Amino acid sequence: MLGEALRARPVRYLVSRWPLRALAYVVSGVPVGLLTLLWLPVSVVLGAVALTPLAIWPLAMLERRRLGLLGGLPVPDPHAGSAGTGLRQWLRTRYTEAVTWRELAYAVLHATVLLALDLAATVVAVIAPVAIIVFAVIDVAVRHIPGAVVLLVVAPAILLVIAAYAVALVAVGHGEIARTLLGPGDEETVRVLTRSRARLIDAFEVERRRIERDLHDGAQQRLVALTMTLGLAELERDDPVVTHALVTQAAAQSRAALAELRDLVRGIHPRVLTDLGLPAAVAELAQGCGVPLTIILDLPGRLPSAVESAAYFVVAEAVTNTVKHAGATRAWITGAVNGNRLVIEVGDDGMGGADPSHGTGLAGLADRVDALAGALAVASPVGGPTTLRLELPCCG
CATH of domain 273-393: 3.30.565.10
Closest-CA residue to 286 (of 301, 296, 276)? 296
Note the residue count of the chain.
396
283 contact partners, CB below 8 Å, separation of at least 6: 295
For a pLDDT cut of 70, what percent of the chain falls above it? 74
Rounded Cα gap, residues 21 and 27, in angstroms = 10
Rounded Cα gap, residues 342 and 363, in angstroms = 20
Determine the average pLDDT of the residues in 137-144: 62
Q: What is the pLDDT of residue 146?
A: 57
How confident is the model over 338-384, as pLDDT tens digits? 878 889 999 888 888 776 655 546 666 777 777 777 888 888 777 77
Determine the average pLDDT of the residues in 267-279: 78
Residue 30: band (very low, low, confident or very high) from pLDDT cuts 50, 70, 90: very high
Determine the average pLDDT of the residues in 155-171: 84
Rounded Cα gap, residues 52 and 40, in angstroms = 9
Neighbours of 111 (CB within 10 A): 21
For residues 344 and 311, the answer to whether their CB atoms sit within 8 Å is yes
DSSP conformation letters of 4-58:
HHHHH-TTGGGGSSHHHHHHHHHHHHHHHHHHHHHHHHHHHHHHGGGGHHHHHHH
Q: What is the pLDDT of residue 25?
A: 92
Please give the mean pLDDT across all residues of the chain: 78
Q: What is the pLDDT of residue 147?
A: 56
Category of 164 on φ-ψ map: left (φ > 0), alpha (ψ -120 to 50) or beta: alpha
Residue 309: band (very low, low, confident or very high) from pLDDT cuts 50, 70, 90: confident
For a pLDDT cut of 90, what percent of the chain falls above it? 9
Residue 28: band (very low, low, confident or very high) from pLDDT cuts 50, 70, 90: very high
Q: What is the pLDDT of residue 262?
A: 67
Buried b (16+ CB within 10 A) or exposed e, 164-187: bebbbebbbebbebbbebbbbeee
Q: What is the pLDDT of residue 26?
A: 93
Residue 110: band (very low, low, confident or very high) from pLDDT cuts 50, 70, 90: very high
Q: What is the pLDDT of residue 52?
A: 64
Q: What is the pLDDT of residue 29?
A: 92
Q: What is the pLDDT of residue 221?
A: 75
Across the beta sheet with 375-379, the strand order is 293-298, 331-338, 341-348, 386-393, 375-379
H or E element that contains 392:
strand 386-393
Determine the average pLDDT of the residues in 77-90: 66
HSE value, Cβ hemisphere, 13 Å, CA-based, for 295: 18
**CA 178 to the chain's CA centroid:** 18
CA angle at 309 for the pair 307 and 314, rounded to the nearest 5° = 95
- Which range is least confidently modeled, 58-72, 137-151, 326-340? 137-151
Q: What is the pLDDT of residue 16?
A: 84
For residues 168 and 6, the answer to whether their CB atoms sit within 8 Å is yes
How confident is the model over 203-226, as pLDDT tens digits? 555 556 666 666 666 667 777 788
Angle between helices 128-138 and 147-182 in degrees, nearest 10: 170
Q: Tell me which range, 97-106, 208-217, 235-244, 341-350, is most confidently predicted by mean pLDDT.
A: 341-350
DSSP conformation letters of 189-251:
HHHHHHHHHHHHHHHHHHHHHHHHHHIIIIIHHHHHHHHHHHHHHHHTTT-HHHHHHHHHHHH
Given a cut of 70, whether residue 255 has pLDDT beyond it is yes
What is the DSSP code (8-state) at residue 83?
A: S
